[in-house]
Amino acid sequence: MEDAKRPKAQALYLDKNLQIIFGVTLMAVLGVASITPAFPKIGQSLHLSENQVAYLISVFSLPGIFLSPFAGILADRFGRKTVMVPSLFLFGLAGFACFFTKDFFWLLFFRFFQGVGASALGSLNVTLIGDFYQGRQRATAMGYNASVLSIGTALYPLIGGLLAGIAWNYPFILPLFAIPVGIIVIYFLDTRPIQNIQNLRDYLHETWKSIQKKEVVGLFLLSILTFVILYGAFLSYFPFLLNNKFGLTAPEIGMFLSISSLSTALTASQLGKLVRYFSEVSLIKIAFGLYFLVSLMMPLINSLYVYLIPVVLFGIAQGMNIPSLQTLLVKLAPANQRAIFMSVNGMVLRIGQTMGPLLIGIGFVYAGIDGAFYLAALAAMLAILLIFLLLKPIAKADY
């Protein structure tokens, strides 16, 4: 009876709640995607090294490591809006404050507080999808959401690159859009009754037991490695590779990143169809195989246009991997623990985002940009091994 009330699959993207979730998703991804094309110009304008500029990602991601689980607990016990609305407002105001500083310390300071605001957004949007949809509709909604996310990561580098063409700090105007999104959430997003009637101690005990399951730990580790590869190699060092090898400007770098994100959007939008033929685990295996191949290709290519091949392949891998990981986690999460589950996942994503530039930077320090991508290939190999060791129970389960 409940399923009958939901919109049909072909019209799912027209559902008001899902459209509002899309708006939150677009804010969740804005914090990094809009500024990476400006990295070379930020480095030149503020006299920073490549490693120092990469700290703008790490310091933004760091708060989520500690705060995401607390945001999930609050959202499970007091409601999604209670956490989401203040997070959107803080994200917008702290991000916009970066526009006004030319001191690297204060830039890191405001980026940290922007990251505090962002720490809940990337998990609560997926939590809401788990709240509102079930079955294949849920996988379809996850795919649509990942597609919207990818459209954002396609457009933001282009927009950010164009704004950085005016001045390095102009991309920091974009976070202001989080304010109207927060207002829309207040007045138009439906709410679900809080299902958690346990006391806090029992809730935390049951959550801890659920999170310790082998397959859940495996999904968390794969999420970390995904974002180590994405933020460590592709978003942090690929812009420098294009700038150093071919002298590309910020807008031109943004165009390459946008092409990857568009291929992600196209792939993710078809997830509802892909899961009819491949399990989520199979899609994740294919994705990490593509990460490995792309990471090996990057240092070997000497033609700018040939780079389109690994860029598109990387986007396809993202489109299969991220929504599949999210769908599996939502399936494994009990309804009264869904927000904390996805928030812990948000925490491990932030670990990947924060550690990615630092870990992949080890390869850069010892072997230059080529070393950064070879280390990313090693991370992809490790992920494939973890899939075979830890995800067998999911692969065999009939969902």
For residue 7, is pLDDT > 50?
Answer: no
The amino acid occupying position 207 is T
> Can you tell me the mean pLDDT for 54-74?
85
Q: What is the pTM of this model?
A: 0.76
pLDDT tier at 313, thresholds 50, 70, 90: very high
Share of the chain above pLDDT 90, in %: 32
Give the C-alpha separation, 148 to 265, whole Å: 7
Predicted confidence band of residue 196 (pLDDT cuts 50, 70, 90): low
Which CATH superfamily does the domain covering 15-396 fall into? MFS general substrate transporter like domains (1.20.1250.20)
**Cβ–Cβ < 8 Å for 91, 117:** yes
Return the C-alpha torsion angle 174, 28, 97, 114, nearest 10: -170
User: CA 279, CA 134: separation in Å to the nearest integer?
Assistant: 17
At residue 280's C-alpha, the angle toward residues 274 and 285, to 5°, is 105
The residue with tokens 């985002």 is 353
User: From CA 194, how far away is CA 186, in angstroms rounded?
Assistant: 17
Does residue 2 have a pLDDT over 70?
no
Question: For 231, which DSSP code?
Answer: I
- For residue 285, give Cα distances in angstroms to 138, 156, 303, 381: 21, 28, 29, 10
* Highest-scoring range by mean pLDDT, 49-53, 194-198, 219-223: 219-223
The structure tokens 């892909």 sit at: 274
- Whole-angstrom distance, CA of residue 216 vs CA of residue 220: 6
User: What contacts 180, CB < 8 A, 6 or more positions away?
Assistant: none
Question: Looking at residue 222, what is its pLDDT?
Answer: 94
Place of tokens 């925490």: 347
Collapsing DSSP to helix, strand or coil, 130 comes out as helix
Tokens of 392: 């067998």
Q: Is residue 126 predicted with pLDDT exceeding 50?
A: yes
- Is a pLDDT exceeding 90 seen at residue 289? yes
- C-alpha–C-alpha distance, residues 81 and 87, integer Å: 10
Average pLDDT over residues 186-215: 81
Q: Give residue-wise pLDDT tens across range 326-355.
A: 889 888 888 778 888 888 887 887 788 778
CA atoms within 13 A on the CB side of 111: 26
CA distance 268 to 264: 6
Q: How confident is the model at residue 51 (pLDDT cuts 50, 70, 90)?
A: confident
Helix (H, G, I), strand (E, B) or coil at 168: coil
Backbone angles phi, psi at 270, to 5 degrees: -100, 10
Q: What's the rounded Cα separation, in Å, for the pair 171 and 157?
A: 9
CA separation for the pair 291, 254 (Å, rounded)? 20
Q: Averaged over 242-263, what is the pLDDT? A: 83
pLDDT tens digits for range 14-33: 889 999 999 999 998 898 88
Across all residues in the chain, what is the average pLDDT?
Answer: 86
